Amino acid sequence: MSYSVVWFKRDLRVHDNEALAKALAHGPVLCLYILEPSYWGGSDTSKRQLDFLKESLLDLARELKSIHLNLTLMSGEALDVLSKVYSTRTFQSVYSNQETGNSLTFKRDVLVKKWLTSKGVTWDESRQHGVLRGLESRSKWSVQWDLLMSAPQCKVTGSMVAQDLQNSLHLLLPSERWPRTNEWLRSLDACPDRQLGGRTKALELLSSFLNERSGTYVGGISSPLKATSACSRLSPYLSLGCLGMREVVQATQAKIQSGVTNSYQRRGLNNFLSRLHWHCHFIQKLESEPEIEWCNMNQGFTGLREDDWSDDRFNRLITAQTGWPLVDACVMMLKQTGWLNFRMRAMLISVASYPLWLHWKPVGDWLATQFVDYEPGIHWSQMQMQSGTTGINTTRVYNPIKQAMDHDPRGEFVRRWLPVMQRVPDAWIFEPWKMPKDVQARCGVVIGCDWPVPIVDLADATREAKKRMHEHRGESLVKQINAKVLDRHGSKANLKSRGKSKRSAIKNDLKETDQQLTFNF
């Protein structure tokens, strides 16, 4: 019996899963998910992400069962697992959807590709995001995103499945029990209030956002208090592919076109659509240059912060002991929930990069482990943008005191996540170190005892950091490389070229290859 392997990666769904649909069109399939110890032992992964994955896999298994398919779970390095499956019964093809993951998954795919080729096995990878492999120019990127997002969604039904053949295949290659994954992890951090995984939860959130919560999207997503409901909260489900990007885009467009009467909701949905576009725009950066996970996008910034690393400053940041209430409240929320809104994420990176003057890579690894919705392409692009090492973006420095006044004016967020702050008077809530000693005594919060003295003087440290950054930006090497960074990564949306008259020609010009571009100036 000949069969194909459907290798599930970041596409944990049946609906609009092009790889699954293609494979079923050619006969029996083995639906395989591989739990890789090396990946989960990495510096950017965590138990909270693995727990979310487990729930999502259980949901996927139920969904597959409804169309007479079984999910086979196997643990081990991908090449070893595929070799084992192949030796048990040879397969003719592997189908999967493209992923843009971290460096480990990229190197793994290179090895798998080489091995499959040596066996004469074809590997068909379908696009599921608006990301192009082998992209040399951004000039056509926006149009191809529109083309993909407007294409019909793939439908997979039980009628496509030959049940008798599938049953015999499942008996031959049954699923393993869930392994002892805790032994792989670097940290067994608890995250009691994280989102639950799976497509069922994702569809519930999508429905509530489109029909209700999108009305508070504009104006609500910057507030650490309002964002928990104003944001779509779909990011972890998009990251693992419990929802398809095209599915979400088309559902949003359909809601707008259905005649949404509430102007706030209409504005919210249109803004959300824009961010779905940017979601893929940022992932494309890592796809085009995998090295931005560990190397400055503009190499003229090499050495800017690396040699000034401070374990003390870093440890105070990750243990919520910086002394700046909004910063420490955000860290506490992140530990408890695995999520923060975009504005607060940017603020954390800014504080780490400027007043604390910490190199973005170790900070990025820590933040990656904290985010349940860790999406490497977006994460590493944003780490570099917010820390200033792209060279092509405006220097972004977020003052945590001003951010608190703007987005948490009554201190509700700070007091929620920092119980000690509940005793501090409103006048001192964002700068408690300035409280007179008699006020400290009355409220029972003594600076240096009940609350830490700020790790550095915010104004002085920020001023010095901006000075150093601006001096560096003026160096000839940085300016020379900037043009190349902008050419490769800058947005080149051409609104005129988005018309239907030009789409056919552009579609024919788009070429995909099996390799990501290298970081080579």
Same domain, 124 and 135: no
Same domain, 209 and 350: no
Q: What is the pLDDT of residue 82?
A: 98
The residue from 230, 255, 288 where one domain ends is 288
Q: What pLDDT digit, counting tens, does each position of 19-53 carry?
A: 999 999 999 999 999 999 999 999 999 999 999 99
The residue from 256, 288, 320 where one domain ends is 288
Q: Is the pLDDT of residue 164 over 90?
A: no
Q: What is the pLDDT of residue 316?
A: 98
Q: Taking Cα atoms as reference points, which of 134, 99, 139, 98 lies closest to residue 288? A: 134
Q: What is the pLDDT of residue 113?
A: 98
Q: What is the pLDDT of residue 1?
A: 67
Mean pLDDT, rounded, for 94-120: 97
Whether 455 is in a domain gets the answer: yes
Burial class (CB in 10 A: 0-12, 13-18, 19+), 457: exposed
Same domain, 310 and 233: no
Q: What is the pLDDT of residue 448?
A: 97
Q: Is the pLDDT of residue 505 over 90?
A: no
The residue from 264, 288, 312 where one domain ends is 288
Q: What is the pLDDT of residue 512?
A: 31
Q: CATH no. for residue 62?
A: 3.40.50.620
* pLDDT-based confidence at residue 158 (cuts at 50, 70, 90): confident
Tokens (6 digits) for 206: 């999508």
Q: Is the pLDDT of residue 487 over 90?
A: no
Mean pLDDT, rounded, for 214-221: 95
Whether 167 is in a domain gets the answer: no
Q: CATH no. for residue 230?
A: 1.25.40.80
Same domain, 303 and 271: no
Q: Is the pLDDT of residue 97 over 90?
A: yes
Whether 184 is in a domain gets the answer: no
Tokens (6 digits) for 335: 């530990």
Whether 228 is in a domain gets the answer: yes
Contact 92, 5 (CB under 8 A): no
> Which residue range is the domain that position 438 belongs to?
299-482
Q: What is the pLDDT of residue 509?
A: 34
- Give the mean pLDDT of the chain: 91
Q: CATH no. for residue 311?
A: 1.10.579.10
Q: What is the pLDDT of residue 444?
A: 97
Same domain, 471 and 325: yes
pTM exceeds 0.85 for this model: yes
Same domain, 275 and 391: no
Whether 166 is in a domain gets the answer: no
Same domain, 333 and 432: yes
Contact 430, 414 (CB under 8 A): yes
Measured between alpha carbons, how far is 409 from 167 in angstroms, rounded to an integer? 61
Q: Is the pLDDT of residue 237 over 60?
A: yes
Q: What pLDDT digit, counting tens, does each position of 392-448 carry?
A: 878 889 999 999 999 999 999 999 999 999 999 999 999 999 999 999 999 999 999
Q: What is the pLDDT of residue 393?
A: 77
Same domain, 431 and 356: yes
Q: What is the pLDDT of residue 354?
A: 98
Domains in the chain, number? 3
* Residues constituting the chain: 521
Q: Write out the E strands in 247-395.
A: none
Mean pLDDT, rounded, for 71-91: 96
Same domain, 328 and 415: yes
Whether 487 is in a domain gets the answer: no
Same domain, 145 and 270: yes
Same domain, 93 and 210: no
Q: What pLDDT digit, counting tens, does each position of 319-363 carry?
A: 999 999 999 999 999 999 999 999 999 999 999 999 999 999 999
Mean pLDDT, rounded, for 247-266: 92
Same domain, 325 and 279: no
* pLDDT-based confidence at residue 503 (cuts at 50, 70, 90): very low
